[in-house]
C-alpha cells in the first residue's frame, strides 16, 4: 500500500493510498495518536455518510460523533465554521478531540480550518472521498473558506495528522466528478511530471473506466508531486505557487459563474487551457507542446460550456490571493513537466489568453 511522507519545517505526516482504509480506520487513528485517549468527531455530508457510514462505524467499538454539513461550494463560508464549532462545544469537544474530514475538498478545507481555530488548535485527519481531494486539496495544510470577494481568502496553514486516501471510495464517484478530479492530475503532470503526463496520454481508457490499478498509479504520482513541492515550500513563498497552474483564471471562471455551472476541476481545466495559450504566446512552450497539453486536458473532459466575458474574468483575477505586493503571480508552462512563475503578465496578455480560451468554450459540444 503506497505511503508518501510529507515533511515540512512545521509538520511531518504520511499520505496513505490504497483500498480498504475505512475498514481499519479506528486502529489507524490509535496509532496516529500514539495510543493516547481521543474522542473522534466526523465532519461529513449526509450524502457521503449514507454511502460509507457502515464501513466507518464497523471499525469503532463506540460510535463517533458525526457533524453534518451540506455539500457544495456555497457552504464554504465562515457561517458554516461557526455552526460546526457551536456543535463541537455543545457536544463537549476539548483539546483531546480529533476531527475527521470525511468528504471532498469543501469538507476538508472547512474541517481543517475548524481544527486550526477550535480551542486554538486541535488535531485532524483528512479522509478524502473524491479524486480531486485525494490528489490535491487534502494535502499540504491549506485550510479555509471563501468570502464574497474571492475564494479561500480566510484560512490558515494547519496540517493533518495524516491523509488516508481510500481508493475504494472512488468507485461511487459519478463520471463527471472523476473527470473533474483528473484535471488536477493533468495539472500535476504538466507542471512537474512528464512521466505521469505520458502515462495519462497512453492509458486514458483504463483511467476513465475507473480501473483500480490505473487510478492508484495516477493518485500516487499526483500526490508525490504535491508532497515534493510542499516539502520544499510549505507557506507558498516560491515553488509552491506552481501548483496554481490554471487556477488564476480557473477561480475567476468559478466566481463569474457563481460556483454553479462548473466543478472545480472543470474550471481549472479551462483555466489551464488559458495558461497554455499565454505560455504559447510568450514562447515558453512550442506549438507541439501546446497541442499535447490542450489535447490531454480535453481528453479528460468534456469540459462544460459557460458564458462569461473575457474582461470580467481578467477583472476577477484582481482579488486572487496569489497576488504579491499588488502584482499578479502567474504560472506559465515551460515544457511538459516544467513551469515558471512570473509577475509581469499584463492585463492585455491575460485578456488575449482568456479570449482564446472562450473561443474554444463556444465551440465545445456538451
pLDDT digits (tens, 9 = 90+) for 107-146: 999 999 999 999 999 999 999 999 999 999 999 999 999 9
Q: How far apart are CA 246 and CA 138, in angstroms?
A: 19
Closest CA to 303 of 243, 241, 340, 249: 249
pLDDT at 324 over 70: no
Distance (Å, whole) CA 243 – CA 49: 30
Task: Give the model confidence (pLDDT) of 209-245 as tens digits.
Answer: 999 999 999 999 999 999 999 999 999 999 999 999 9
Domains and CATH numbers, the chain: 3-172 (3.40.50.1970), 175-363 (1.20.1090.10)
The pLDDT of 142-167, averaged and rounded, is 94
Considering the chain, what percentage of its residues have pLDDT values greater than 70? 98
pLDDT for 150? 83
What is the dihedral sign for C-alpha 236, 249, 186, 106? positive
pTM of the model: 0.93
Q: C-alpha 260: how far from its chain's center?
A: 18
Query: Residue 149 — very low, low, confident or very high, per pLDDT cuts 50/70/90?
Result: confident
Q: Which residues have CB under 8 Å from 87's CB, separation 6+?
A: 67
- Give the pLDDT band of residue 328 (cuts 50, 70, 90): confident
Sign of CA dihedral 127, 163, 330, 324: positive
Each residue's pLDDT tens digit, 302-322: 999 999 999 999 999 986 655
Active site residues: 120, 142, 184, 226, 236, 240, 244, 247, 251, 264
Amino acid at each position: 500500500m503506497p505511503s508518501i511522507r510529507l515533511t515540512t519545517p512545521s509538520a511531518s505526516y504520511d499520505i496513505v493510498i490504497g483500498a480498504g482504509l475505512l475498514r481499519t480506520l479506528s486502529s489507524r487513528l490509535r496509532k496516529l495518536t500514539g495510543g493516547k485517549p481521543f474522542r473522534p468527531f466526523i465532519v461529513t455530508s449526509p450524502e457521503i455518510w449514507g454511502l460509507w457510514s457502515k464501513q466507518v462505524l464497523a471499525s469503532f467499538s463506540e460510535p463517533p460523533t458525526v457533524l453534518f454539513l451540506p455539500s457544495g461550494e456555497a457552504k464554504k463560508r465562515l457561517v458554516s465554521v461557526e455552526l460546526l464549532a457551536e456543535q463541537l462545544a455543545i457536544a463537549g469537544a476539548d483539546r483531546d478531540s480529533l476531527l475527521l474530514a470525511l468528504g471532498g475538498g469543501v469538507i476538508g478545507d472547512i474541517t481543517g480550518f475548524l481544527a486550526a481555530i477550535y480551542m486554538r488548535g486541535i488535531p485532524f485527519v483528512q479522509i478524502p472521498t473524491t479524486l480531486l481531494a485525494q490528489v490535491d486539496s487534502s494535502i499540504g495544510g491549506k485550510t479555509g473558506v471563501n468570502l464574497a470577494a474571492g475564494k479561500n481568502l480566510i484560512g490558515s496553514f494547519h496540517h493533518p495528522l495524516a491523509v488516508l486516501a481510500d481508493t475504494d471510495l472512488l468507485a461511487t464517484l459519478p463520471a463527471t466528478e472523476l473527470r473533474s478530479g483528473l484535471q488536477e492530475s493533468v495539472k500535476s503532470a504538466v507542471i512537474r511530471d512528464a512521466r505521469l503526463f505520458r502515462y495519462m496520454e497512453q492509458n486514458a481508457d483504463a483511467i476513465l473506466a475507473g480501473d483500480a490499478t490505473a487510478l492508484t498509479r495516477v493518485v500516487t504520482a499526483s500526490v508525490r508531486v504535491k508532497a515534493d513541492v510542499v516539502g520544499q515550500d510549505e507557506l507558498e513563498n516560491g515553488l509552491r505557487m506552481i501548483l496554481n497552474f490554471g487556477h488564476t483564471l480557473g477561480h475567476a471562471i468559478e466566481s463569474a459563474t457563481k460556483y454553479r455551472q462548473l466543478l472545480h476541476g472543470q474550471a481549472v481545466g479551462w483555466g489551464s487551457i488559458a495558461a497554455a495559450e499565454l505560455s504559447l504566446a510568450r514562447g515558453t512552450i512550442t506549438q507541439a507542446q501546446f497541442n499535447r497539453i490542450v489535447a490531454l486536458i480535453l481528453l479528460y473532459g468534456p469540459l462544460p460550456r459557460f458564458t462569461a466575458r473575457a474582461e470580467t474574468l481578467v477583472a476577477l483575477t484582481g482579488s486572487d490571493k496569489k497576488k504579491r505586493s499588488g502584482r499578479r503571480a502567474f504560472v506559465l508552462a515551460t515544457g511538459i513537466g516544467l513551469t515558471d512563475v512570473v509577475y509581469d503578465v499584463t492585463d492585455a496578455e491575460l485578456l488575449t489568453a482568456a479570449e482564446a480560451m472562450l473561443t474554444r468554450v463556444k465551440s465545445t459540444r456538451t
